[in-house]
Structure 1
């Protein structure tokens, strides 16, 4: 938008937000056709029939919301480049995690298992990412201060006769012109006995944002260091180039909050910076997954109520959070894309 939106004509007494909206409407007769969330359906290939919602024009960021994968975030591009991990897998309906998982920007793991788990627990990383969402809201609308906001909301239930009865309500927010996605989840125990809840937000980044020499930095400590000394710090690593047959690396960390109560994890490379923000009071455990294997080159930044069961770390981080009957808790997560700073800046 030009500065014209900030400069009222003589005698114009309308609020600034109204002036901004009217400026746009004078130049685009139906902004919802260009800016509002767009529902689509895959018409070919192994994902045929899959429901998706596209979030576009987010200041260089474009994101697909996967309705049939409980409102997870699928393919993401930043300034025209795909930056979420693209997995070389068979189809969303294939057997087992390794053939089924599509990658994408965000996969919700849980609600009763995270990491290696038995079929009775839902298998690898649980069931949440396999449950289609009941979409309760999808719209674009003007705010009072002249911003065009996007909203997608939905609901899932993970339950069984004589077993757990857990629900998750998700709200996704974005704004036209701003490279940011905000997620707010509410997880509730609708059953009548206490239930352990394990949930992990598997955020997955790929090339070209991910490359050799890119820097991942998080406000966290290795779990063993925290247990030994209680000293808080910043965990920082340089990313390796892909190599055939390279071993995966899984680091179990304790999240550390800033003064504002948020913890920050960043990946900075030549293509830009992605910043993940979350609250350690909600998600105290952080897993960093690094795959330098050629063909499956990825970085996972994974805050959660626990670490994956296969992570090397103390058992205290693998228990999850217990919810009493009727109890709920909220989770807030932000994903922000921006131009690279520091060593990669022009």
Structure 2
């Protein structure tokens, strides 16, 4: 049954109270029409619980806006939701990706993630193409999707809002990878369910790497906000080779916006729960509000925490990844790089969860703590021990 307005409704009862479900909840297609965002198709989801989010059809069906009862969750960067036609993938030495980075989710992949790379291309059997050059975090996030459907679906008295699309990262004499993405939310619910399948549509053996850059902003991110996760080990930290504590920001507790902040990135080895899920949250106890990400350890064996606490940016990233932070060559050397033959696919099942009040925050943090206790110091010394990734 639909849980709305402090009561339960059957499908019949809900229909009796309105001419269209869209009065309470729904998903609709619209197009942005100004500035760098002009021409970008967008799906707006409203579940009726206070959860509203938008899906950028023309940006790999990534999630852009996200809010709950008017309180922002998803991060907006200075770049805005730029139309892909304006994007220069290889610009700025491979760092032009930042000019298209904004929103709750920015998908990274499909054949490359992490920093710039030049990799052997002999598998594509084309003499002039000796190597493949990849910019930061890959190409996929600025590729428009072919929207295959969206709407509402009833199963008895439960209604699911949904959208599906196909994002094709394809070229001649190179990769032909398809991302088939389905996004769902339940009427009356506070969760977003993301199901991705990455398939090799071509006939060349092709590498595959995948990561979600899930970006949370203010007011969940605020002075005193806590990063809560089942951390077995702190594997790596970008800033550990220098003065590890020079910015006075550890992994656990967030400060207010900073001036001249150097980004900090951590890789944690997470403990899954009994169902194989890794649960990570950012919570603001002062306002009783939080956001959680649930992934499967078997699908995303690595997890990064990105701290961009610079004033005017101010975001925290929760980043599940198929590979360790050292990237493609490191994965090749350790025989951890995923290779897809024709028709092969990888599936990724992720839940994004709003924690709407203090009780939900308390209960969720308790469930994480029950899996394994996280380090109780702000600056745990990285072990440098990258667990072997074994694929199914």
Give the TM-score taking structure 1 as reference length. Answer: 0.84
Cα gap change, 1:153 to 1:97, in 2 (>3 Å): same
Question: Tell me, which stretches of 5 or more residues in structure 1 are unaligned?
Answer: 6-18, 226-234
More off after superposition, 191-200 vs 59-68: 191-200
More off after superposition, 329-338 vs 134-143: 134-143
Instruction: Tell me how far apart the structure 1 counterparts of residues 257 and 5 of structure 2 sit (CA, whole Å).
Output: 43
Residue 337 of structure 1 corresponds to which residue in structure 2? 354
Secondary structure at 2:195 match in 1 = strand
For residue 22 of structure 1, report the CA deviation from its aligned partner: 1.1
Cα gap change, 1:58 to 1:252, in 2 (>3 Å): farther
Residue 252 of structure 2 corresponds to which residue in structure 1? 237
Secondary structure at 2:185 match in 1 = strand
For residue 57 of structure 1, report the CA deviation from its aligned partner: 3.1
Cα gap change, 1:317 to 1:22, in 2 (>3 Å): farther
Residue 294 of structure 2 corresponds to which residue in structure 1? 277
Instruction: Tell me how far apart the structure 1 counterparts of residues 161 and 228 of structure 2 sit (CA, whole Å).
Output: 30
Instruction: Tell me how far apart the structure 1 counterparts of residues 133 and 267 of structure 2 sit (CA, whole Å).
Output: 22
- Paired residues, what number? 320
1:39 maps to 2:26: no
Secondary structure at 2:311 match in 1 = coil
Cα gap change, 1:2 to 1:239, in 2 (>3 Å): closer
Cα gap change, 1:320 to 1:222, in 2 (>3 Å): farther
Instruction: Tell me how far apart the structure 1 counterparts of residues 5 and 210 of structure 2 sit (CA, whole Å).
Output: 43
Cα gap change, 1:81 to 1:318, in 2 (>3 Å): farther
Given that 1:113 and 1:121 are in contact with CA atoms closer than 8 Å, whether structure 2 keeps it comes out as no
Given that 1:268 and 1:340 are in contact with CA atoms closer than 8 Å, whether structure 2 keeps it comes out as no
Residues 37-59 of structure 1 deviation map (CA, whole Å, 9 limit, x = unaligned): 11011122221111000001342
Given that 2:290 and 2:361 are in contact with CA atoms closer than 8 Å, whether structure 1 keeps it comes out as no
Cα gap change, 1:318 to 1:82, in 2 (>3 Å): farther
Residue 111 of structure 1 corresponds to which residue in structure 2? 110
Given that 1:84 and 1:206 are in contact with CA atoms closer than 8 Å, whether structure 2 keeps it comes out as yes
For residue 319 of structure 1, report the CA deviation from its aligned partner: 5.3
Instruction: Tell me how far apart the structure 2 counterparts of residues 88 and 4 of structure 1 sit (CA, whole Å).
Output: 40
Given that 2:24 and 2:48 are in contact with CA atoms closer than 8 Å, whether structure 1 keeps it comes out as no
Instruction: Tell me how far apart the structure 2 counterparts of residues 3 and 299 of structure 1 sit (CA, whole Å).
Output: 32
1:211 maps to 2:222: yes
Instruction: Tell me how far apart the structure 2 counterparts of residues 3 and 222 of structure 1 sit (CA, whole Å).
Output: 42
Residue 327 of structure 1 corresponds to which residue in structure 2? 344
In structure 1, which of residues 137, 144, 148 is the aligned counterpart of residue 159 of structure 2? Answer: 148
1:49 maps to 2:39: yes
For residue 121 of structure 1, report the CA deviation from its aligned partner: 3.9
For residue 236 of structure 1, report the CA deviation from its aligned partner: 6.1
Query: Map of 1:102-251 to 2, 5 A cutoff?
Result: 103-117=102-116, 121-144=133-156, 146-220=157-231, 221-223=233-235, 237-251=252-266
Q: CA RMSD in A?
A: 2.8
1:305 maps to 2:322: yes
Given that 1:112 and 1:121 are in contact with CA atoms closer than 8 Å, whether structure 2 keeps it comes out as no
Instruction: Tell me how far apart the structure 2 counterparts of residues 317 and 70 of structure 1 sit (CA, whole Å).
Output: 30
Question: Tell me, which stretches of 5 or more residues in structure 2 are unaligned?
Answer: 89-95, 119-131, 238-249, 363-392
Instruction: Tell me how far apart the structure 2 counterparts of residues 258 and 321 of structure 1 sit (CA, whole Å).
Output: 25
